[in-house]
Amino acid sequence: MRPSSPSSPSSPSSPSSRQLDDEVIRNALLVAAEEAAITVVKAAHSQFIVEGSDAGVAMLTLDGELVAQAAATSMLHSGGIAETVKAIVADFPVDSMEDGDVFIANDPYRGGVHANDVTVACPVFIDGRPRYVTAALIHVLDLGGAAHGGVHTGALETFEEGLQIPPVHYEAGGARNHELVKLLSLNSRAPVETIGDIDALVAGTRVFARRLQALVAEHGLARFADAVRRYLDEAEARTREAIQALPDGTWSAQVPIDDDGIQPGRSYVVAVEVTVRGDEILLDFSRTSDQVRAPINSSSSQAFDAAVFAARCFLDRDTPANAGVYRPINPRFRRGSLLDPEPPHPCGGRMMAVYAVVDAVVQALSEAVPARRSARSGIIIGYSIAATTTPYWIHNSFDFGGVGARQGLDGVDAVGFHFGVGRNQLPQIEPTEERCPVRCEAVELITDSGGAGRWRGGLGVRISYLVLADALLSHRTDHFDSPPDGLDGGLPGRPGSVTVLDAHGNSQHLPSKVANLAVPAGGRIIIETSGGGGVGCPLDRRVDAVRQDMRDGRVSPQAAFDSYGLVINPDGTVDETRTARRRTP
């Protein structure tokens, strides 16, 4: 029990007591966010959610400022949630909300991501008024569109990508909007799983709301609100301090996108000019390619969060990811570009542009901070394997590329450094085989896929599926034509690929973006992600590092000689007579 004396250094009015209260409230919010996220994952029906933990959960102010989020929430999710909450409040003023209201939306031009990423938001009532919002977002299994699971690489308009939902009531005053549920069910190939996923979102937001109400009841609304304000202000102050440690100046970079999946041979570029001035960063993307009638555009909320995420890679990594961080980081996009398209330009394959945003900012700031330079990384291959007819089964998944090497460090293998802009997780194989007529025959690192260098790029991964029933394959990715570049003499990573083998072993190598390709029963789908680029001249790599790479299967004997100038014998000794071209021992 705290002493009641006002003069006591541990009294509620003293700075130390206030700081303690703030820490208790902040950590309680983070624990509540985790509990809400676990609720979403455990209550969801789709294997993609249950096994892949693909759920974003956050608490926000009524102005849409992010306060706290679950650890698994990527910045792409949190940014989409924040902008969607702003759209909801714009359409449903706070004074019109009722206790028990739950709102739903997925409009990519009003904060959403793409059709399948659905956000549910719950206003949190305290003392008879909404004070905060809890919200959650997941990729529901299917919301219609021309391809299963929302992976339509041939969409010319967003109407082809799935049902669009403006901000509307999913529940009003606690009563379910059954007409909306019927509409959503009718537009889904997997209505039970899709509605189950949305109900899981509702459950998570309500758990978060109850924990938030209990916290306010314990600490009082005024003290709680002050703690939230200080939380955001301190994150802003720490971010500004970290920016001031960077040199002032302007740096630029651009990253290509191989193609749009519709017009062969047509490539695009995401270009950025990064200016650091005092305690602010300006990221100008005005020279990025124009929007295109193909699903590689990114809604502005997604591009914004990709830019902030990349900038944060050069700042204080321990600063909490809340709205305070956004204040000194200012991305600017040109309306009508790939990063701020006008409706109805499709946005389903936005990860192509999002990854390019991250890569471009990282490359530009690498020039500003040479000690933290990084080669380019491989990106994910997102894909859907689905039934050709009813009853529908759908396997949505993704696999990761290798991380680019950094100054002094090898890249990490197959973890998708940029995936989701700050998160990665691997759906498990066994539940996939239990729920869908596919058998996963191999998951393995690809030898020699990491770019050679003094520091080697991370390896990509190979996944092989045997399809046990007639199926349709859709996938989208990039870096098939332009593999991740190396840096300072490092070599590029191995490009990714997708190959289909029929039951007789005949192979078909696919482009990076495909929709609804028929794969007969007995066929195989082989997915290979790209490796990360290397850093520094390969001939400067230490002999013992190459030797260890060979032991681990990351580098083959042939590559040890071709790239690193070494002949390593089976017993681990080096044939010195054949290594004269190496610069260092």
For residue 439, the cross-strand partners are 466
Which pairing describes strands 129-139 and 55-61: parallel, antiparallel, or unpaired? antiparallel
Same-domain status, 109 and 134: yes
Same-domain status, 27 and 167: yes
User: Binning pLDDT at 50, 70 and 90, where does residue 2 land?
Assistant: very low
Point out the least confidently predicted range of 106-115, 166-175, 242-251: 106-115
Query: What is the model's pTM?
Result: 0.91
User: Binning pLDDT at 50, 70 and 90, where does residue 316 land?
Assistant: confident
Compute the mean pLDDT over every residue in the chain, rounded to the nearest whole number.
90
Angle of helix 191-219 relative to helix 15-43, nearest 10 degrees, comes to 160
Between the alpha carbon of residue 473 and those of residues 341, 346, 514, the distances in Å are 27, 20, 8
User: 492: number of CA atoms within 13 Å, CB side?
Assistant: 12
Mean pLDDT, residues 532-542 taken together: 95
Point out the least confidently predicted range of 33-42, 394-403, 424-433, 505-514: 424-433
Residue 260 domain flag: yes
Number of domains in the chain: 4
User: Binning pLDDT at 50, 70 and 90, where does residue 21 land?
Assistant: confident
**Residues above pLDDT 70, as percent of the chain:** 93
User: Binning pLDDT at 50, 70 and 90, where does residue 48 land?
Assistant: confident
The domain containing residue 42 runs over which residues?
A: 15-219
Same-domain status, 153 and 66: yes
Residue 236 domain flag: no
Residue 225 domain flag: no
Predicted local distance difference test score (pLDDT) of residue 1 = 35
Predicted local distance difference test score (pLDDT) of residue 431 = 84
Q: Which two tokens stand for residue 25?
A: 């409230």
Same-domain status, 362 and 440: no
Higher-pLDDT residue of 145, 421: 145
Same-domain status, 524 and 381: yes
Containing 384, the helix (H) or strand (E) segment is strand 381-387
Predicted local distance difference test score (pLDDT) of residue 53 = 65
Predicted local distance difference test score (pLDDT) of residue 10 = 46
User: Binning pLDDT at 50, 70 and 90, where does residue 7 land?
Assistant: very low
Containing 142, the helix (H) or strand (E) segment is none
Same-domain status, 312 and 349: yes
DSSP state of 411: P
Same-domain status, 252 and 197: no
Point out the least confidently predicted range of 3-12, 454-463, 514-523: 3-12
For residue 240, the cross-strand partners are none
Residue 62 domain flag: yes
Predicted local distance difference test score (pLDDT) of residue 303 = 93
Same-domain status, 133 and 257: no
Same-domain status, 531 and 542: no
Mean pLDDT, residues 35-55 taken together: 83
Same-domain status, 264 and 351: yes
